[in-house]
A = this chain, B = another copy of it.
């Protein structure tokens, strides 16, 4: 798999990444929210040890016990989409195992005992699924997962029962957002058992016009059907977005180019940039690159900025603890350096 931040794919421009995750729990253990700190830590270490028994892959991974690291370092993993807010919130007993290329992570004592996640660049959901499936099989051969013949995999929240599988893609949909057609798209998705959310998951707003589309239903459907459904829905969003872009280009060519070039001009020159404005401007520039209006801009650079300009990652990148205003200044500095050094 390719790391979505440091790779760009040609298979489809506007899909930044594809993701699969499995929720699994260990039989005869309480779900994490009922697990006290000592038993939680002990289970986490057990799962880590079991994972490293898988000979073929163990050298590719590192593990992090969240009770051992600072909160900012933790937030950085969050902003890279490698861990969840939930995992961070239970950091007195939670841990994760992460592949060196940061495409595979296994969260321990998040909402469930195990959350296995594979994330790859571009529109490649089947590839992510195959990798996740192999690791899941290897774990299942060594651990006693809580499983019910009728309900499938048992999970802390009933919305994950059954396959325990959530598949998602991260899409850049600026034209649908601009034309205010995103809500219609959302309605259609809901009827197909899919949901559309902002960049940082449930409840987060679609900053930078980046959306996550994922399956809502995990029970009573085959994994293959869930995958096909997601592929179909993503393909449909791509075609809607492309149509919306063509319409914008047809009717508002100059306005669109103006928006894209101004955004580039501001990114290259601003001395103060909030996280929200940076995301919006980066989205406009990304659209310009995707539509071949802007040349000579590396999409990987835009991916990196998407992550590095987020508050906690920014502090790690710059190596400073920063107040909000100073963050906005450092963010502008960082972005200027990226564009100057192209």
Contact = CB atoms under 8 A, between A and B. Distances in A.
A49 B265 CA distance: 54
How many copies of this chain?
Answer: 2
A287 to B, nearest CB: 14
Interface string A244-266: 00000000001101100110111
Interface residues of A, number: 18
Closest 5 CB pairs of A and B: A265-B269, A265-B265, A258-B271, A261-B269, A258-B272
Contacts of A258: 270-272, 332
Contacts of A81: none
Contacts of A270: 258, 261-262, 265
Contacts of A2: none
A270 B264 CA distance: 9
Nearest to A263: B269
Interface string A4-27: 000000000000000000000000
Given A254-B329, A329-B254, A271 B266 contact: no
Nearest to A271: B258
A258 to B, nearest CB: 4
A182 B6 CA distance: 52
Contacts of A268: 265
A262 B261 CA distance: 12
Contacts of A269: 261-262, 264-265
Contacts of A267: 265
A254 B268 CA distance: 15
Interface in A319-338: 325, 329, 332
Contact of A272 (B255, B265, B266): B255
Contacts of A257: 271
A271 B332 CA distance: 23
Interface in A294-328: 325
Contacts of A325: 254
Nearest to A326: B254
B266 A254 contact: no
Given A254-B325, A258-B270, 18 more contacts: A254-B271, A254-B272, A254-B329, A255-B272, A257-B271, A258-B271, A258-B332, A261-B269, A261-B270, A261-B271, A262-B265, A262-B269, A262-B271, A264-B269, A265-B265, A265-B266, A265-B267, A265-B270
26 contacts: A254-B271, A254-B272, A254-B325, A254-B329, A255-B272, A257-B271, A258-B270, A258-B271, A258-B272, A258-B332, A261-B269, A261-B270, A261-B271, A262-B265, A262-B266, A262-B269, A262-B270, A262-B271, A264-B269, A265-B265, A265-B266, A265-B267, A265-B268, A265-B269, A265-B270, A266-B266
